[in-house]
Amino acid sequence: MSLKRLRIEGVGLALAVFVIDRAVKALMVGPLTLREVGLIDLLSMFDLRYAENYGVSFGMFSATSLEMRFGLIGVTALIATGVCIWMLRETARGDILGLGLVLGGAIGNIYDRLMFGYVIDYADLHIGEWRPFQIFNLADVAITFGVLILLARSFKSREKPLDSGDHGATENA
């Protein structure tokens, strides 16, 4: 597969994640009126629960002023730009797709921060009262899975056996 096609796939995946994230968030605050009702019980371990996240993961670095909000947007936009550049330079399909997930999720959350001043979260996974995660959204899931793909591929690439031409160089080093 050509590099151009791989990069188009990565950008397409990022765009798809962004569009689906926007659609789901619009569904939550629109027809489902989650903002008004606060909670929709779905399963014994999963609910839809409206939350506004003014920070980043786990509410850290909460933006309590306009300056902090735009600072947070700026930092996350720089990170997203770095991810985009990395994706456009990458040659491995798995890494490109992982980066596409991260980029799409990041853009989805940046959009929320720009438009509303916070990120809309709605997914509440729990076991009784115990919550292994904070309330999250589809963009967060895409970022998490993208990072996990990149980490797994990174560990896998370290385990590649050396070919016969590399053994002499290693032994003499």
Rounded to two decimals, the pTM is 0.84
What CA–CA distance (Å, rounded) separates 17 from 20?
A: 5
Place of tokens 């999250």: 136
Distance CA 98, CA 109 (A): 17
Instruction: Calculate the average pLDDT of the chain.
Output: 88
Whether the per-residue pLDDT at 162 is higher than 70: the answer is no
Range with the poorest average pLDDT among 24-38, 54-68, 93-107, 150-164: 54-68
What pLDDT does 1 receive? 79
pLDDT band of 168, cuts 50, 70, 90: very low
Instruction: For residue 100, give Cα distances in angstroms to 6, 60, 142.
Output: 11, 24, 9
Q: Specify the pLDDT at position 67.
A: 84
Name residues whose C-beta falls within 8 Å of residue 162's C-beta, 6 or more positions apart in sequence.
Answer: 170
3-state secondary structure of 87: helix
Instruction: Write out the catalytic residue numbers.
Output: 121, 140
Query: What band does 163 get if pLDDT is binned at 50, 70 and 90?
Result: low
pLDDT at 173: 41
What is the number of other CB atoms lying within 10 angstroms of the CB of residue 136? Answer: 19
Q: Kindly state the average pLDDT of the residues 58-74.
A: 76
pLDDT recorded at residue 101: 98
Q: Using 50, 70 and 90 to split pLDDT, how confident is the model at 68? A: confident
Q: Other CB atoms closer than 10 Å to residue 70's CB: what's the count?
A: 15
The band of 58, judged by pLDDT with boundaries at 50, 70 and 90, is low
